[in-house]
Structure formats: structure tokens, C-alpha cells
Amino acid sequence: MPESGFPALRAVRWDTVVGALLVVVLLLSFTTVDGFGNALNLSFLIGNTLPIALIALPMTLLVVSGEIDLSVASTAGLSGAVMGALWNQGMSIETIIPVCLLIGVVCGLVNGLLVTRLGLPSLAVTIGTLAAYRGIAQIVLGSDAVTDFPAQYLDFAAGRIGDTFVPYAFLPFLALLAVAVVALHATPFGRSLFAIGASEEAARFAGIRVKRQKLVLFTLTGLMASLTGVFWALHYASARYDNATGLELSVVAAVLLGGIDFDGGKGTLGGAVAGVFLLGALQNVMSLQDVSAQSQTVVTGVLLVLSVLGPRVARQLAVARARRRAVEPPTASKAPAPTP
Amino acid sequence: MRKATVRRTCAALAAVTSLALAATACGGTTKEDVKNEGGAAASAGKADPNAETKKGLTVGFLPKQVNNPYFTTADKGGEKAVKELGSTYKEVGPSSATDTAGQVSYVNTLTQQQVDAMAVSAQDPGALCTALKQAMKNGIKVVTYDSDTTPGCRNAFISQASAEDLGRTEVQLLAEQIGYKGEIAILSAAQTATNQNTWIEFMKDELKDPKYKDMKLVKVAYGNDDAQQSFQQTQGLLQEHPNLKGIISPTTVGIKAAAQYLSGSKYKGKVRLTGLGTPNDMRKYVKNGTVEAFELWDPAKLGELAARTAVALASGQITGQEGETFEAGAMGEYTIGKDGVISLGKPTVFNAGNIDQFDF
Amino acid sequence: MTVTAPEEAPVAGVPEAGATRLVDRVFKMRELAILAVFLVMIGVTQAGNSEFLSEQGIKDLLLNATILVLVATGQSLVVITRNVDLSVGSTLGISAFAAGVHLQGGGNPVVAVALAVLLGTGFGLLNGLLVSLGQVPALVVTLGTLYIIRGIDSIWVGSRQITAADLPGGFVDFGSGGISAVPYLALIALAVLVATAYYLKHFGSGRELYALGSNPEAARLAGIPVRKRILTAYTFCGALAGLAGALYLARFGNVDSGTGSGYELTVVSAVVVGGVVFTGGSGSVYGAALGALLLTSVNSVLPALGVSSVWVLAINGILLILAIAVDRVVALRVASALKKRNARHA
């Protein structure tokens, strides 16, 4: 039936639109914007967008399954703060990083348990943990800003391969992206997430272990958030308790732009990543063109509203069109007029 | 089924923890292994004090936050100087004072736009370094003003007044107002604010002098440069220490919040307030008796000196080494101090007598 | 065979079924719980520091909470309908500046306040239209308008700011003055709060907001004009945010392009702590106001007790999680009690 094909087609189409927009923006900028197309600028663009991209990976999976986690930036900040505090205590960096990742896992677990075991709404809970984790970060590190991490780590996080546009840190990201794409689109685990997002009741009756999947997702999100926190502290060579403040809104905005439906059950990882890099590229280009920070904020807001209005309006138009077609007699039929 | 998951998770956690501990046993890179490099990044080549001041340069100003009245005044001062020297001025910056990632990308933007020099007020001492070093590698001269980075990431730093001068004179100003006796407190900005913390250290050091023996610093509160928080921190200070005689607030946001609160409360006139504020912000409180005197440097002059230093660097007149001197137009001659620091001069004290002469 | 009467839209004068009384009792208990926590906190602080509840101290507590109470009241209406408005902070900022600009040009304070409310209403209307007509999830829309309004505010304000010297003395004095320990601003907020609570309880359209939040489909089928109600909720929320902006100007005497930034999370926390659940359909504005009072007082209690303010954020977060958990447990208990009662009556 053509009707059932439409919703899925629509979801794919918005992702394609975003992907196409990204390509168009990149091409235009390469040719017309001075200072965009060189390796240094591109490496900065990628390096700056990486924290958002890293968190967008598990966030997409989470939103597809119908939940959300607004505490990611605070988890990142907490892991960065712990990293700084332990470093000041004289612990070795090889021990510190796994500990920080562990903290992220715990943060994610707490979120997941609150949502799955206690049945609390994830939006409200993660607003609470957003404050709580950031608060703990402040208690842990206080007013310090730790900057003297070992040079090899700093160079890895901030440097690029020779003189190309590829930052060292981009490669692990690509690997994680590949894992995420496969997990979401090619495994039963991923398919179960779409099912849970579309209808939790139905998924449970179909035998999917909804609570366990969600718990796993929240834990993964916490892990990625702490990884991002460590990356942030090394990339900017500065571990502070207020690192990555506000990052969650940027991730949500980018993921929304990429066509991930907040009601759950729809979206592709490609769209999310395209959304992230589209926003990053647009901001880079606007800055190069001397568009003020405030105007950039307005543009981001308008894009966001359009990105959700667009598909809805398109859907309503298509539904109206389909309804009209069903009412009208089929004019294309070659049935001969009845002869008297 | 649930128990199995829990057991598996615990096993995983145990494995990771033991791996981490094992890594410690094998030794690792710790703080002691990392050495510090000091000193300002002097540009290559020798200074030529007689070099011609280049014209037609582009100088980019990157404050901590655009649309912040303090930085707008400073940057306008810089703009005036740049235009006077025959070059082009531009200003870019993040809209939030705690957006380090944003400020880093603006350093990159200025690098891409191939400016000849940039004047930066750094939100964080270390975060901008990679980007700034890249800029310097591309031949751009980097000057910091108002808030410094680590010395190796810039050619020179324009300090509004020496941190020591600021810290000590704040204490002296308050001490005069409270008769050298009583409990005092400090209302600062964010806990992580580098310049405030440096000044506070000097304040504590000044208080060790025997002439302040009857004065006691009871608390340092943090208002995070937020009006509501500064208000509540001031209230808290007064409730916790009912005998408080004076407050020092070395932040323009903190002092006006504290002044606003005091002027509408029973403590008006009883608790003395001083700190760093702009004449326009504080005019009302000086006139209604809440604040007797406060100080600040002239942000416009700060920006002007930053601009002139940037142009001098770009023209090759100085390289940022200690001891070099250069002419800063009508401002006179300036000498570069240790670590490339150039001090603007002593802070100005504002009180009812002179406050109407200023407009910023 | 019993003939069941056709379903009527829940309107004021609903037959006093035992179920309604039970739910009402639960609401009251929830508010009493917050009040109890608040009083205990104040009591402990007063014991530790006798200066805390002086006349100045009480005035301060009330003044600090006033602005949040106003915005939380407006936000509750929106959350009750199962939506959210993240743009309140930006609206507050731009309205405060609008009022300030008018006063700076020598205008009348009452007109300035009216301007602020008008501007807030306008933005609330925009949000309401996008959510109700566009049928777009409120979270996304108001996130977008948060950015848009903040951007417009920044462009308009530029690098200017309104300082206390620009405002008429009477206006600023009004902001900190009061009748002994009760500030004028708090009286205004109280009046708005009582009026809103009255509307929600005794007017049909008010009760319909609750119905809409508990079950939008059923509400629509029952004939409630869903779109109109959502539009009203958002417009009201915006109007209160605008009023709060004018009061912010009176209280702090200072507005610039960053005013109100980040306020939305504080407001949402106050509302949730106050018992207005995100799933919609329950909670009261009194609860939200108490939540606002509780959260702002934490910030005053800690310094008075000599505890480092570094703990504030963590405590706020834990309070929030506790509130949500308690609400959830209570909701489950009420649901099972209702089920048992219905089973008994069937």
C-alpha cells in the first residue's frame, strides 16, 4: 500500500534533505568563503564539533527509543573535574582516564535506574541529575583550572595528522560512528529501539526487554559523555568544573535538526550526524562572514523551528493531497465512456 | 534474569577497576613528570624601535564576551586607537562569558581571516593556547588584555594595573573607610576567575601588615557574576556575620548587585562597600551614600594600549622581550616587564568629588 | 440494565465523587509536604543563626523568591497541559529591557510595566500558536524560540545596559520597599498567584487545562477546545514572564543582553519540585510557588549557616530528583487506590 510506505519515506527524506544541505553548504563555502577551505580551518571545525558529535551518537539511540538525557553536559563536566582533581593529587594519567570513564558509567546507570526501576520521566529526572552532577563537579574541583596534562595526550586531543584537515581525535570518532550505525540500523538491538520508541506496550508484548535496553542506553550515554569530558579537558588543555556547560542544548538542537523525532521510533544516525556537522559548518561560515554571535543564535533558533515544522507541514500537505485523490474519481483510467 | 545482568555489570566494573589499578602498579605519567615551560613567546627577530609604524593593518579584538558594557568600552578605546594609527579594526566574540569553546573558534576565525594582530581577553588561561600558538605560527601577533593566558601563548599582556596594586589598594581603600577596625568580607565573581583570585591573594597578603591588625577577613563569597546570586551571597554574608563592617567586591557585577541590595536594606551606610565598579553603574549609590569610594582603571585606556601594543608588535618595533620600550602615542612611553607584561598604571579612585567627570 | 449517562466534559460543579476528593486531598498533601520541608529548613537555619529571621531577613527571603514565583506560576499552567515553555528566560530578559528603555526615556512606570507584559504576551502567543496549530512538540518549539528571542534581545540591546541611575528613584525604591517585612513586589506576586489559583479551580476553562493534560485525546473527544486552551496557557505564561521582567528591573536596577539567560532550567526545577508533574494533569500553582520559595531559599540558607555555596547546585539537583520520585510513588498509589475504589463501586 502506498500509504504505509509514506511515513518511512518521509523520515528518510528529511535525513536526505539535511545531508544534501550539508553537502551544499560545504561546496558553497569551499568556493565562495575565504578562509574556509583550508586544512587548518577544517580541522578546527571538526575539532570543535567533535564533543557534540560524540554525544549525539548515544543520544540518537536514546531519543529513538523515546527517552532523553539532558545531564550529558554535566556528566562530561564531572568527568573532566575528576580528571583535574585526581591529576592534582598526583595520580597517573593512565589510571585517571579509566576512572573518569567509570564515573560516566555510574552517572548513566543512576539515570537509567531512576527511569527504568522507578518509572520516572526521563526529561524531569535528567534535569535533576544535570544540576546534581554539575554540583558534584563543583564540589570536587572547586575553583581550580587544571592545565598541565602530559604533552602527548594534549597533542593527540588537539593536534592533526601532519598538515591535513584530519584531527587525530577524528579517527576514534569515525570508529565509534561505525559501531553506532551498525548497532542502530543493522542489529536486532537497534531494531528493538525503534520498536520501543514507536510503542512501548507493543514492544513489551513482542518480548523485547524494554527496561534492560533503556538501562543499557543510559549507561552508554553516560560512558560517552564522560569520554567527551576527558576529550574536552585535553582538547582545550583545561579541566574546570564548568566545562561543557550548555552542551546538552547544542546536542539536542543538532539531533533535532537531523530529523530525529522526539516522540521516538523514527530517525537515522546519518541524519543526526549530518545535523551536527551542518550546524557546526554553518556557525564556522557565519563567523568567517562576520555574522555576530547574536545573529547566529537567531539563525539556529529559526532552523530548529523550521526543521520540526517542515516535516509536519509536509506530512499534513501529503495527507490532504492523498485525501483529495481518494475522493476524486480516477481520471487516469482509460475506461471508455459508456456508449448509449 | 535481572540478577544475571547485575552480576555481569559488577564483573565488568571489577575488571575495569583492576585494570586501572594494574596500570598504576606499572607506573604512569604523573604531574611530576610534566615540566613547565615559562616565559612569553617572543616573536622571531630583533626589535627595531625606530621601525615605521605600519599602516593598513587589521587588528581583531576578541573580548571575553561581546555586549558586555565593560568590554564594549575597552574595545571602543581600542577602535579609536587603531583608526588613529591608520589601520582597520574588527571585534568578534562569544555572547557568553563562559563559552570557552566559542572563544577558541573565534581565535580560529581571526586566524582564517588573516588579521595582522589580535587582542584577546581570555576566558581561560589554557584553553586558547593551541589556537593562539597556531595564530602566532601564521605570523599573527597576539596581545592579551584584561585577562591573561599562560605566557607562552601570547607576545604581550596588557595588565590593567598590576595585580598587586589592585589587591593592595582595595584593602587600603576599605580600611580607610572603616577606621582600620572590624570584620570584612570579599564578594568575588566565579570561583574559577583567574584575575579575581590573583587579586584576592594579594589582598590577603596586604592584610598581614600590622596596621590592619584590628581587621579580619571572615569570608570570601562567590556571586558568579550573576545579579541574583550576588544579591543572595551579600545577604548571606550579612546574616552570617552580623558585625560585618565592610565588603570588597572586585567585580563590576558583584559591586553593583551588593550596592543595590545595601541601598534598599537596613545596612545602608552601616556596612561600607568598595571594589571595582564603573562610574555609570555606581553613580546612584555614591550619590545616595551607600558607597563612599571605589576604584577602577579606565577600560578605554586599556583597550587603547592593547591596540597600540598590537600595532607596535606588528610593525616590528617590539618583540615582547623584557626591557623593550615603545611609544604609545598620547599615552606616553611604556616598558615591557617580566613575562611580557605591560602595566597600564595605577587604578583611579572614584568618589562623590569626581564621579561626574566620567562617562563609562 | 443500567443506562450510563453520556460523557460530559469535566466542568466546575463536577459531582463530588469520592475519587475527586481523594485526588484533591493528595494535592493538598503534596503542597503541605513542601511547606513542611521549607519550614524545617528555615527553623534549622534560625536555630543556627538568630539573624536569619529578622525583619530584613524575611523581607529578603520573600523578595528573592518573588520573580521565580511569578514565572513558575505561568509555567505551571503550561506544564499542567502536558507542555513546557523553555523560552521564559529570554522573554523575561527582553521585557525587562523594554521596560527599562521606556523608563530611561522618561516614561511612566505603569506604562513601562504594561509594555513588558504586552511584549511577554506577544511572545507567549507565538509559542502557543506554534505548539497548538503546528502540533509540534513543545520542547522543540520553545527551544527554538528560546534561541530566537535571546538572539533578538541581544541584537536589540547590543552593548547597552540599563543601570539604576537611568531609572526613576521611586521605581527602584518600590523594588526593595515594603510594608514592614512584606515587600511590595511579593504582594504583587501573591495577588497574581491567588488569582491564578482561583481561576484554575473555579472556572470551567481552568479545570479543562487539567483534563487536557491528563488525557489530550479524551479531552478532545469530550469537546474541550484543545487548541484554544493551549494558546491561552502559553499566552498567560508569556504575560507573566513579561511582568516578571518589569519586576526584575525594579528589584535589580540593572539589565543587559544577558539578563534571564539560563533561567528556564531554574523555573522548570521550581515547578517540578512544587509537584506539577511533567506528564501533565496534576499539581497546583500554590505548589509551584512553594517550590520556587524552597529553591531560592536554599541559596540563602547555606550562606547563613556558613556552608560553602559550592553545595547549592548539588542540593538543588537532589531536591529535584526527590520531588520527582515522591510524585511518582504518590501517583502510583493514587492510581491503585482509584482502581480499587472503582472496582468496589462497579
**Closest by alpha carbon to C313, among C321, A51, C52, B239?**
C321
Same domain, B233 and B335: no
Q: What is the pLDDT of residue A340?
A: 47
Question: For residue B62, is pLDDT > 90?
Answer: yes
C60–B191 CB contact, under 8 Å: no
The arithmetic mean of pLDDT across residues A291-319, rounded, is 82
Q: What is the pLDDT of residue C322?
A: 86
CATH of the domain at A287: 1.10.3470
**C7-11 contacts, C-beta under 8 A, 24 or more apart:** C7/C221, C7/C222, C8/C222, C9/C208, C9/C211, C9/C219, C9/C222, C9/C223, C9/C224, C10/C207, C10/C208, C10/C210, C10/C211, C10/C222, C11/C204, C11/C207, C11/C208
Q: What is the pLDDT of residue B187?
A: 94
Question: For residue C3, is pLDDT > 50?
Answer: no
Last residue of a domain, one of B280, B296, B312: B296
Query: Which residues in B lie closer than 8 A to residue C154 (C-beta atoms)?
Result: 67, 95
Least confident interval from A107-116, A318-327, B75-84: A318-327
Number of domains in chain A: 1
Write out pLDDT tens, residues C100-148: 999 888 888 899 999 999 999 999 999 999 998 877 788 888 988 999 9
Q: What is the pLDDT of residue A276?
A: 93
Residue B156: which pLDDT band, with cuts at 50, 70 and 90?
Answer: very high
Residue C20: which pLDDT band, with cuts at 50, 70 and 90?
Answer: low
Buried b / exposed e over A117-136, threshold 16 CB at 10 Å, is eeebbbbbbbbbbbbbbbbb
Domain assignment present for residue C321? The answer is: yes
**Dihedral angle of Cα A291, A287, A29, B141, to the nearest 10 degrees:** 130
Same domain, B95 and B204: no
Residue A98: which pLDDT band, with cuts at 50, 70 and 90?
Answer: very high
- The residues on C that touch A, with CB distances below 8 Å, are 130, 134-137, 139-141, 143-152, 154-155, 257, 262, 265, 268-269, 272, 277-279, 310-318, 320-321, 324-325, 328, 332
The arithmetic mean of pLDDT across residues B5-34, rounded, is 59
B233–C306 CB contact, under 8 Å: no
Q: Is C64 on the interface with B (CB under 8 A)?
A: yes
Q: What is the pLDDT of residue C2?
A: 44
Write out pLDDT tens, residues A223-262: 999 999 999 999 988 888 888 888 888 898 888 888 888 7
Domain assignment present for residue B99? The answer is: yes
The arithmetic mean of pLDDT across residues C248-262, rounded, is 86
Same domain, B327 and B256: no
Domain assignment present for residue B17? The answer is: no
Write out pLDDT tens, residues C280-322: 888 889 999 999 998 888 878 887 777 777 788 888 888 888 8
Least confident interval from B235-249, B270-284, C19-33: C19-33
Same domain, B102 and B224: no
Q: What is the pLDDT of residue C16?
A: 47
Q: What is the pLDDT of residue B360?
A: 74
Residues in a beta bridge with B220: B186
C155–A294 CB contact, under 8 Å: yes
Same domain, B308 and B283: no
Q: Cell triple for residue B29?
A: 605519567
C neighbour chains, 3+ CB pairs within 8 Å? A, B
Residue B45: which pLDDT band, with cuts at 50, 70 and 90?
Answer: low
Which backbone phi and psi does B65 adopt, to 5 degrees? -155, 130
Residues in a beta bridge with B185: B219, B247
* Least Cα separation, residue A175 to chain C (angstroms): 30
Same domain, B194 and B216: yes
Residue A215: which domain range?
21-319
Residue B130: which pLDDT band, with cuts at 50, 70 and 90?
Answer: confident
**Alpha carbon B212 to chain centroid distance?**
27
Question: For residue B2, is pLDDT > 80?
Answer: no
Number of domains in chain B: 2
Same domain, B168 and B118: no
Q: How far is CA C299 from CA C54, C67, C212, C264, C294, in A?
A: 17, 15, 35, 17, 9
pLDDT over 90 for what percent of chain B? Answer: 30
Query: Which residues in A lie closer than 8 A to residue B114 (C-beta atoms)?
Result: 35
Domain assignment present for residue A1? The answer is: no
Q: What is the pLDDT of residue A332?
A: 52
Question: For residue B27, is pLDDT > 70?
Answer: no
**A139-143 contacts, C-beta under 8 A, 24 or more apart:** A139/C310, A139/C311, A139/C314, A140/A78, A140/A81, A140/A82, A140/A85, A140/A241, A141/A81, A141/A82, A141/A84, A141/A85, A141/A239, A141/A240, A141/A241, A142/A241, A142/B191, A142/C310, A143/B190, A143/B191, A143/B192, A143/B193, A143/B197, A143/B222
Domain assignment present for residue B137? The answer is: yes
Distance CA C19, CA C307 (A): 45
C265 touches C75 (CB < 8 A): no
Domain assignment present for residue C199? The answer is: yes
Residue B285: which domain range?
163-296
CATH of the domain at B332: 3.40.50.2300
Residue among A124, A256, A298 minimizing CB distance to C272? A124
pLDDT over 70 for what percent of chain B? Answer: 88
Q: What is the pLDDT of residue A331?
A: 59
The arithmetic mean of pLDDT across residues C327-336, rounded, is 82
Question: For residue C188, is pLDDT > 60?
Answer: yes
The arithmetic mean of pLDDT across residues A191-209, rounded, is 89
Per DSSP, the three-state class of A236 is coil
Q: Whole-number mean pLDDT of chain B?
A: 84
Give the β-pairing of B244-249 and B182-188. parallel
Q: What is the pLDDT of residue A295?
A: 85
Greatest Cα pair distance in chain C: 77
Residue among B65, B232, B285 minimizing CB distance to C299? B232
Q: Is B281 on the interface with C (CB under 8 A)?
A: yes
Q: What is the pLDDT of residue A3?
A: 41
Per DSSP, the three-state class of B141 is strand
CATH of the domain at C64: 1.10.3470
Beginning with the edge strand found earlier in the chain, give each strand of the sheet holding B58-62 in spatial order: B88-91, B58-62, B117-120, B141-145, B156-159, B341-343
Which H or E run includes B186?
Answer: strand B182-188
Residue C303: which domain range?
18-345
Question: For residue B97, is pLDDT > 80?
Answer: no
Domain assignment present for residue C6? The answer is: no
C173–B264 CB contact, under 8 Å: yes
Domain assignment present for residue B96? The answer is: yes
* Least Cα separation, residue B236 to chain C (angstroms): 5
**Closest by alpha carbon to B243, among B264, B214, B275?**
B214
- Where is pLDDT greater, at A74 or C325? A74
DSSP assignment string, B41-108: -PPSS---TTPPPP-S-EEEEE-SSTT-HHHHHHHHHHHHHHHHTT-EEEE---SSTT-HHHHHHHHH
What's the sign of the alpha-carbon dihedral A248, A249, A252, A258? negative
Number of domains in chain C: 1
pTM: 0.83
pLDDT over 90 for what percent of chain A? Answer: 36
Same domain, B193 and B287: yes
**Alpha carbon B76 to chain centroid distance?**
18
The arithmetic mean of pLDDT across residues B51-70, rounded, is 87
Domain assignment present for residue C3? The answer is: no
